[in-house]
Amino acid sequence: MVTDFFRMLYTTEGTTDMDQVLNTVWTKVKAAMNESLMAPFEKDEIKRALFQMFSTKVPGPNGLPAHFF
């Protein structure tokens, strides 16, 4: 019974007319922002960002502290 409940809970019923759904969602990332986000990055940028983090604090939802990286 439990297995059936969660199977039904996490099973998609399919999507129809996804464009209509997406047209009701506000755009958060504009074209200029996206261009900046998609720009190539350098290894030095990543190193600087990691070294600016406190090594034992967890900065995000992945649960891994900076010294892991």
> Where are the chain's structural domains?
41-69
The tens digit of pLDDT for each residue in 15-57 reads 788 888 888 988 889 999 999 999 998 999 988 887 887 767 7
Distance CA 40, CA 48 (A): 16
Alpha-carbon distance of 51 to 1, in angstroms, equals 50
* Structure confidence at residue 60 (pLDDT): 66
Higher pLDDT, 52 or 6: 6
56 to 7, 32, 66: CA distances (angstroms): 38, 34, 6
Question: What is the distance between the alpha carbons of residues 21 and 4, in angstroms, rounded to a whole number?
Answer: 29
Q: Are 29 and 37 in contact (CB under 8 A)?
A: yes
